[in-house]
Structure 1
Amino acid sequence: MNRLNRPRDDRWIAGVCSGLGRRFGLPSSLVRVGFVLSCLLPGPQFLIYLVLWVIMPSE
């Protein structure tokens, strides 16, 4: 299984969704759509994204 990191080649904003997709074997576009749809619901999704941006190492 791949390590959790932010790739340099498939980034849109910070590479968090791409890194999560690679880690769990999902297409990065599917993870991005899921994140955008989850932002429509109440909760700390954007804050979690920012925290992952800070703690996930870059490739």
Structure 2
Amino acid sequence: MAAAVRAGHDRDMDENMTHEPTDTTGPRRLTRTRDGRMITGVCSGIADYFNVDPTLVRIGAAVVTLLTSGAGILLYAAAVLLIPEEGRDVSIAQELINKQTNRG
């Protein structure tokens, strides 16, 4: 009976068991994806990052745009500039900043 009560507690873990995730591919990054993109890959990248359907993110972006009288378009444009494309290390905005600092 005592073993049944204690089942599932951390103290019952074997020394080989850990709480660490088994995925060792490194930290996830938010990127604009190339696969499944409609325009620039922002919505599909966000959907990939949060593991949801890209259609839901696109509908959400459209609703935000309609409810905020177009501010969603500005958010989308900011995301294009700030989120790096898949396979790249820096965003468009960071590339522009790096070019400006290297000129001076």
Structure 1 residues without counterparts, runs of 5 or longer: none
Q: TM-score, normalised by structure 2?
A: 0.52
- Deviating 4+ runs (over 4 angstroms): none
Q: Does 1:52 pair with 2:90?
A: no
Identical-pair percentage? 39
Q: d(CA) in 1 for partners of 2:41 and 2:48?
A: 11
Amino acid at match of 2:46: L
Count, aligned residues:
59
- 2:28 maps to what in 1? 2
Amino acid at match of 2:37: R
Q: TM-score, normalised by structure 1?
A: 0.87
Q: d(CA) in 2 for partners of 1:22 and 1:54?
A: 18
Q: Which has the larger radius of gyration?
A: 2
